[in-house]
Structure 1
Amino acid sequence: MVSIDTYNACVDFPIFDAKSRSMKKAFLGAAGGAIGRNSDNVVVVEALKDINLHLREGDRVGLVGHNGAGKSTLLRLLSGIYEPTRGSAHIRGRVAPVFDLGVGMDPEISGYENIIIRGLFLGQTRKQMKDKMEEIADFSELGEYLAMPLRTYSTGMRIRLALGVVTSIEPEILLLDEGIGAVDAAFMAKARARLEELVARSGILVFASHSNDFLAQLCDTALWVDHGQIRQAGQVDDVVEAYEGKGAADHVRNLIRRMQEENTGIHGRGPVSG
């Protein structure tokens, strides 16, 4: 059964040269946590602290919080990129991370070959990726560049290719970070439509976003992450109100109401899991 369970999970980053004030400041800015000491008396940044999550198939969870609050670190914990320093994390299901788009791609081989490599990294077989090659090529709009080494691509072209691959699979657990920019607005609109289809096919969604509209469209519940801790959990509109205020929450409620009335929601607005 597809599931995510974390029990008091913590992620610490050690600062071995703690005498450097600029280094401590840089770590704090990147991780967004608090400075403390571990059991070996080494100074650490507590990037995540006491994370308790219990998600099951059908759960659609949004993450809100300021930059550096710990949202991306939490996604990396759930993907297995980071192991808990303390506590535990148990992830059951095939994970599709849509944030580290460059992972599993080789700059020295062609776009076509990278489609295969990236697909293997995401748990697909070589045959499955070959069967999807034409579809991914059409979506990416990269044309003859697909026969060229990845090192010749711009950042936007690499993201096009990676998005084409990751949105072609059937994920059991989808970890999505909206901050994947560097492509033009027209392509991003196309990519968002494809991401929405991907969400509909996934078992569990955890989505970090600064867009309340997108959160309302894709998620049933939300978590407010602040300084590496879950400050509040609940329905999307309630969490947005706690984080941004009543005006933002009213906008989310109106959007949800409109989607319900038009019956065009991407996924059902069924009962919210506890």
Structure 2
Amino acid sequence: MSHPVVCVEGLGKKYIIGHQQKERYTTLRDTLSNVGKKLLRGFGNSKFRSENPTQEEFWALRDVSFEIKQGDRVGIIGRNGAGKSTLLKILSRITEPTKGRIRIQGRVASLLEVGTGFHPELTGRENIFLNGAILGMSKAEIKRKFDEIVAFAEIEKFLDTPVKRYSSGMYVRLAFAVAAHLEPEILIVDEVLAVGDAQFQKKCLGKMDQVANEGRTVIFVSHSMGTISTLCNKALYLARGHVIDTGSADQVIKKYFSDTLQNQTEDLNELRLPGYGKQVKFVDIRLESKETNLEFGQPIRYELTVESDHNIDGLSIGSSIFSTNGNCIGSLITEEFSIRASQRLVLQLIIPNSNLAPGAYYSGFSVGFGHKKGYRQDLDIVIGRPCFEIRPTPNAQFQIANWHSNWGSIVFNDIHLLKKQVDTNNQNLISR
């Protein structure tokens, strides 16, 4: 029977947040007054310390307790800001906890940010040895694994190039290759793999699966519920720094989506993939009706609000629907449209006949261009909203019995995209 290799008891992490006071301008008198207050604080004046309105305590984690056994593959899920990355940094001994206790048995290798542990002026070859030494490996062990690391990272041509000239994708390929091949007892991976392309992500997931099958432990953070469901046998659900649920991956994922269905007010910035939404972005995504319960066979009507700082032609909307275990049921691309600078488009996307079986689902949307030319460049991606449920109807038993899981029965030509233009300067709505 496997024994616990990670034990976390009453873990808490507190940060002090500073808030800059908003002032239209600062006079010489204000500056001299502020200097005087700082001097008084330096002399220990408790009055000024206690009345300082510019600082706030923030608990990123509070009373977190759990155990991970040897050979477990644990996925950590939750919205942005839930405390996932803070937890991984504490487990990796990068950050010290404010309170609580952690016991870890075994060598830990972590991949939390692109290029963590790399020296930008050193070459890829030199950084393999440097990073290996940081992870506690001997020079002989690194030499034994060196060829495998280079082959996995696919950087043979750039092995003697300083890593400061690497792209973010090359960085993460090399960093993951080092962390995964130096035989750690515990491998910790944040969602840094999203930087790599689809083929490399598949290779990384295969490597993590191999590591777990060898009896080692994997702790993995991802917003992809499909990846968590496939790779992990257990999951930990965090929200606002607290543990909401632990257990089997499928059980915890269902709990996560059950909570999401009840809370449709998430800020899109919390659901937007990192690095997107700079040129064109979604301002709002919602079901046209306020009801999240739809009858079987009922059309799905989305209302999408998009805005841009530039004039862009040839845009299209990509839409996907996911089941609660993260599997993509199907995807579609709309016809093209244009957007002008300082204008806001309200798009109505209608799927007349989705043929979705009764159950809970969530959506993902992208806005981009180039799909007619054989490629597509996404400018903004939001995954996780809106969530909805399909409920059966008494007279639909025959239809449900003949339902099949392939969403290919949707006729893409029947997808309707209606456009309304909003001038963001005066908010006047113009139908198109």
Same fold, judged at TM 0.5 (above): yes
- In 2: Cα distance, 1:19 partner to 1:154 partner: 35
Q: Which residue of 2 aligns with 1:184?
A: 197
Q: 1:82 to 1:202 in 2, by over 3 A?
A: farther
Q: 1:208 to 1:202 in 2, by over 3 A?
A: farther
Residues 1-274 of structure 1 correspond to what in structure 2 (within 5 A)?
3-15=5-17, 17-18=18-19, 20=21, 43-245=56-258, 247-249=323-325
Which AA in structure 1 matches 2:254? E
- In 1: Cα distance, 2:57 partner to 2:12 partner: 12
Q: Aligned residues, how many?
A: 233
Cα pair 2:6 2:67 within 8 Å, conserved:
yes
In the TM superposition, residue 108 of structure 1 has moved relative to its aligned partner by 0.8
- In 2: Cα distance, 1:187 partner to 1:251 partner: 19
Which AA in structure 2 matches 1:3? V
- In 1: Cα distance, 2:209 partner to 2:150 partner: 19
- In 1: Cα distance, 2:86 partner to 2:257 partner: 22
Greater Cα shift, 69-78 or 173-182: 173-182
In the TM superposition, residue 194 of structure 1 has moved relative to its aligned partner by 2.1
- In 2: Cα distance, 1:250 partner to 1:162 partner: 27
- In 2: Cα distance, 1:61 partner to 1:195 partner: 11
Whose relative contact order is higher, 1 or 2, with alpha carbons under 8 Å and at least 6 apart? Answer: 1
- In 1: Cα distance, 2:92 partner to 2:204 partner: 22
Which AA in structure 1 matches 2:127? N
Identical pairs, percent:
35
Q: 1:100 to 1:122 in 2, by over 3 A?
A: farther
Question: Alpha carbon RMSD of aligned pairs, Å?
Answer: 2.4
User: 2:247 aligns to what SS in structure 1?
Assistant: strand
Structure (1 or 2) with the greater strand fraction = 2
- In 2: Cα distance, 1:250 partner to 1:4 partner: 27
Bigger radius of gyration:
2
Q: TM-score, normalised by structure 2?
A: 0.50
In the TM superposition, residue 2 of structure 1 has moved relative to its aligned partner by 6.1
Greater Cα shift, 198-207 or 144-153: 198-207
Q: Deviations over 1:168-196 (max 9, x none)?
A: 12121121223422222222222322232
Q: Which consecutive unaligned segments of at least 5 residues does structure 2 have?
A: 23-48, 262-322, 329-432
